[in-house]
Structure 1
């Protein structure tokens, strides 16, 4: 049984292949197209999934799409009519695109795939719910999905049992926690549906001094976590912007331009909206716990990537276990619709538990060597045992390394296969990696990757966090041991690693601990600012030569930046040329 799930046409397009109930491959289109948050039809991701499953389109039994475009179109039309004439400029821009392309999604999918069967579609938030519960380790769980908006829903409360899901309550547009956070993201000078994690990272530098004002003027929050947004201050229901002049007047300053410096007021606004988000999610979770009396919680939707709020739910509610899959946003909808078809529509028993994020393309040592040799790039080759020891030694000597191994991760986090690694014991490595290697904002924190069995020794948490989706405080006596991964408020976004999930990365952590007594490495995604995480050996090499990395380790091949010739550049491709344009602009 071969089922293809697709999410596309809004942001973070992706594909997922399920065979006989088990996830075989998942990937986001951005990794292949090199366009961050690519929303186009995921033809490259689909091609990869089919190749990994050793099938062709004709072997597909079902194809599913993660939302229902006609219901979404209904909501858009209704909203434009309700807010006319203010909505006219946005209407004139959006409706032609909908009439030309977006309501014809089933036909587009059939044409792109040359597929003759029916395209099955389910509602957006049901895709989110299915993407987390049906692949979770729980036979029964409460389900909470929160994002910007699907068709009409912006959040849903549900229950999963065995292979069934029931949604019993939902919040509807325009009242949306995700869109509220989007609005502040835009106001603070960051990109909507892209940079929300920057607001979360900026928040600890400020104080939530605007929390009371937001709760008084912008949001009416109830005990069950439901709320209403005061649309007097927002434009996302009718316009091309998130907020309006009333919003700027309320907070006493204009929207920040992305090139302008971040001021204390911006930090305080970030802290305030982060607190609003956390308190709202806590009320939602507490209500859900009371209503269901269940100990397990499954979270999904873009807001479920807010790992600070997730950590508080784990600590401050009655839920004992939380599951969040690594691609909790729209990309994960591809998994949700495929799992829905297999488990719910076809009534098959669940036979798969999502245990790691390594579901993307991989490249053999011979393929990596072929790329390097064809482009006359200097490298040295090691056995795997030698490689682990040599890499750990380099890290202990404070070298910063690009680490390219095995199958690429699915979701927004690099989890040890497409990572930049550094020594967390050196406080200077935070600024070094931010400024000189990734060329990104100095306030951005880095995650600690830690041996799973050591996590409670270093952090105030006693459960695994394999996908960097939980934040916890660093224990006071350990803060000066790993200063490069301690955020300004003493917290850290944790990745736990066990040998079953990633044997090579686990062994590297063990060897580093052997050399230094520290079971932690600084782990950040292998990319430069504004670019997707690397996918191929060429992507990795191009990023390496344009960054301040000391070494690139791909498979068993080691590249030293000091041995690179300035003329050593791979054969030109369109992607290569676009990347070089980025360097020139920067």
Structure 2
């Protein structure tokens, strides 16, 4: 049975094909349209899923949407009524879209789906089902997990009503335990500080997390006193007097400004110590909420494993603390934890909950295939493209490839790396990555300023062979999806000199903290990806070759894109990005290109005009 799940119309639209419970394909629309966080109907992602599954739309049994728009509309109306007459401006802005499209969503979906099937009519389309938003999140976390029984914690901005929800997963069932309703939301609290520190809501939250180590938790007390009533069990309420997202077109209001010393930072203006301290403060509060809720779930259920999804589950610092300090034996986090993953959860909900089909659980092995669920490209396709654009290259065999790329990396070169199927979710995991030598003291600033063209404080993640992770980090667990932060082991740390001790904020950026300085954060931590031979044999082989060359089994891994651009999908995307940056080497499957050999791209546009900065 084929089931197609989709998420759309908010941000990070996506499609996923599930066949008899197996995840066949999944991808975000942004990777095809080249519009970051594309919210539109995922036509191109659906087309890809059908091609990958070698089926047509008529071969699909159910089309499943990831939330219930009528329930969401009810929440909007009740919110506007509760805050009237404030919020008229927001109400007037939102209602035309709802009245024109979203209340008639089933008809709209039918119309859009019919574009993929010229031989079908509205009456002959596959049946359309609707899953609840947080149920989709919970299903995306539990059903692919390696656990037969687990509690599930979902935290995001808001679904229909729920902002935080808890579930008990067992076998092929998900049972809701409790939820915290809108407007009380840790996700929206974090987004409020994202807005206030001058970053873009729904895309800049990870910048706040990256900025946090440079600050001091000066505002934690103010957050608890004015904004957040946090209970010992982790449940909470927000004081809505300080927020504007219920009634206005911004996240915060004047009373928020009064507490934190002035208006929000203007986007792209200079970062000050205030923003760093604000980031550190909201990060610490968020971690405390996550820890308290996880302990409560364990105490209430006695279950030994936990799964997580929702945008807050991308807070890898909080996840790392749950694993180290929390009560659970195991933690599994959905790699596409945001709305894109809702497409996957919706499809799995139909299979397991609606059709009541059993799950196949393999201990220690999840069902999401390393998150490599997107399209791939053959060497023949790549060579045809490179010849078309007259790009000089050499095609190497497997052994030659890994040895050559390891040598280039060890020499300090920055390498664009496109291999196998594209990743599903916001992280590059060795399928569409930019790689560097983690030992290189200059690599972080080089990658940020010359390759990614982004803020200098932004940290990079290490990819490490799974069997060597404990040699570098205080971690002995799988972290294949780059969703856990752990400390660098003591023996690899470098002491801070007395002269450096007086520095603060961004001044601390270029001080090496360990013998892998390019991936070591200010607080001696790192956001870790463990690389497994079973799920990505080619990336694993490169790390083995790099280890043989240098004695180190760690590489810098960042997403293959420039600032504001979605991660590349095709060889054409990759070559264009390569030529627009100061990357030294491009590897497209077995084809290797050197920047020095390339001619400038003719008629290429300025990427800064093409992509809106995130």
TM range (shorter): over 0.9
Equivalent in 319, 333, 342 of residue 342 of structure 2: 333
Judged with a 3 Å threshold, the aligned counterparts in structure 2 of structure 1 residues 584 and 97 are, in CA distance, closer, same or farther, namely: closer
Which of the residues 340, 345, 351 maps onto 2:360? 351
Distance in 1, Cα, partners of 2:64 & 2:613:
40
Give the alignment's TM-score, normalised by structure 2: 0.93
Cα pair 1:301 1:330 within 8 Å, conserved: yes
Q: Aligned to 2:578, which of 534, 540, 544?
A: 544
Q: Structure 2 vs 1, CA of residues 248 and 73 (structure 1 numbering), >3 Å: closer, same or farther? A: same
Encode CA deviations 1:231-260: one digit per residue, 9 max, x unaligned: 010000111000001100111121001121
Higher deviation after alignment, 84-93 or 151-160? 84-93
Which ranges in structure 2 are unaligned for 5 or more consecutive residues?
115-121, 362-366, 494-513
Mean Cα displacement is larger for which, 217-226 or 358-367?
217-226
Conserved? CA contact 1:22–1:351, under 8 Å: no
Deviations 1:222-281 (A, max 9, x none): 122110000010000111000001100111121001121111111000000000100001
1:355 Cα deviation after fit = 3.7
Q: Does the 8 Å contact 1:145/1:156 carry over to 2?
A: yes
2:442 is matched with 428
CA shift, 1:577, in A, is 5.2
Q: Which residue of 1 aligns with 2:381?
A: 367
SS of the equivalent of 1:150 reads coil
Report how far residue 579 of structure 1 moved.
4.0
* Contact persistence 1:207–1:267 (CA under 8 A): yes
Instruction: Spell out, residue by residue over 1:379-437, the C-alpha distance to the aligned partner (whole angstroms, 9 max, x if none).
Output: 11111211111000100111100001110000000000100000010111010000011
* Distance in 2 separating the partners of 1:420 and 1:117: 41
Aligned to 2:364: none
Partners of 1:585 and 1:522 in 2: how far apart? Answer: 23
Q: Which residue of 2 aligns with 1:73?
A: 73
Matched, 1:145 2:154: yes
Residue from 385, 397, 402 that aligns with 2:399: 385
Residue 104 of structure 1: how far off its partner (Å)? 2.0
Q: Secondary structure at the match of 2:174?
A: strand
Q: Which residue of 2 aligns with 1:402?
A: 416
Residues 300/374 of structure 1: CA separation in 2 closer, same or farther (3 Å cut): same
Match of 2:371, SS state, is coil
1:265 matched to which residue of 2? 274
* Corresponding residue of 2:508: none
Task: Evaluate the alpha carbon distance shift between residue 138 and residue 583 of structure 1 in structure 2; reply closer, same or farther with a 3 A threshold.
Answer: closer
The answer to whether the 8 A contact 1:235-1:241 is kept is: yes
Residue 186 of structure 1, aligned match among 175, 179, 195:
195
Show the counterpart of 2:567: 533
Deviation of residue 581 (structure 1)? Answer: 3.4
Aligned residues: CA RMSD: 1.4
Change (3 A) 1:502 1:155: same
Matched with 2:431 is 417
Q: Cα deviations across residues 36-80 of structure 1 (Å, max 9, x unaligned)?
A: 000000000000000000001111111100100000001001111
2:48 alignment partner in structure 1: 48
- In structure 1, the gaps of 5 or more residues are none
Partner residue, 2:259: 250
Partner of 2:85: 85
1:459 aligns with 2:459: no
Aligned 8 A contact 2:3 2:63 in 1: yes
Q: Which residue of 2 aligns with 1:473?
A: 487
TM-score by length of 1: 0.97
> Which string of whole-angstrom CA distances, capped at 9 and with x for unpartnered residues, describes residues 266-325 of structure 1?
100000000010000111101000001011001010000000000000111110100112
Aligned to 1:233: 242
Report whether the alignment pairs 1:506 with 2:501: no
Q: 1:476 to 1:2 in 2, by over 3 A?
A: same
The SS at the match of 1:421 is strand
Aligned-partner Cα distance in 1 for 2:17–2:140: 13
Is contact 2:61–2:127 with CA below 8 Å preserved after alignment?
Answer: no
1:103 corresponds to 2:114: no
Kept in 1, the 8 Å contact 2:564–2:613? The answer is: no
For the residues of structure 1 that align with 2:157 and 2:412, how far apart are their CA atoms?
41
**C-alpha distance in 1 between matches for 2:196 and 2:405:** 43
Deviation at 1:122, TM superposition (A): 1.4
2:232 is aligned to 223
Task: Give 1:517 shift.
Answer: 0.3
Report the Cα distance in structure 2 between the residues aligned to 1:160 and 1:179, rounded to whole angstroms: 26
1:578 to partner: Cα distance:
7.9
Superposed displacement of residue 478, structure 1? 1.7
CA–CA separation in structure 2 for the residues paired with 1:582 and 1:193: 20
386-395 or 81-90: bigger deviation: 81-90
Q: Aligned to 2:300, what secondary structure does the other structure show?
A: helix
- In 1, the alpha carbon distance for the partners of 2:315 and 2:613 equals 31
Deviations 1:328-381 (A, max 9, x none): 111000010100111111011113622411000100000001111111111111
1:120-176: CA deviations, max 9, x gaps?
001100100000101111000011000000000001011100000111110000000
- Equivalent-residue separation in structure 2 for 1:530 and 1:327 (angstroms): 19
Range with bigger deviation, 343-352 or 539-548: 343-352
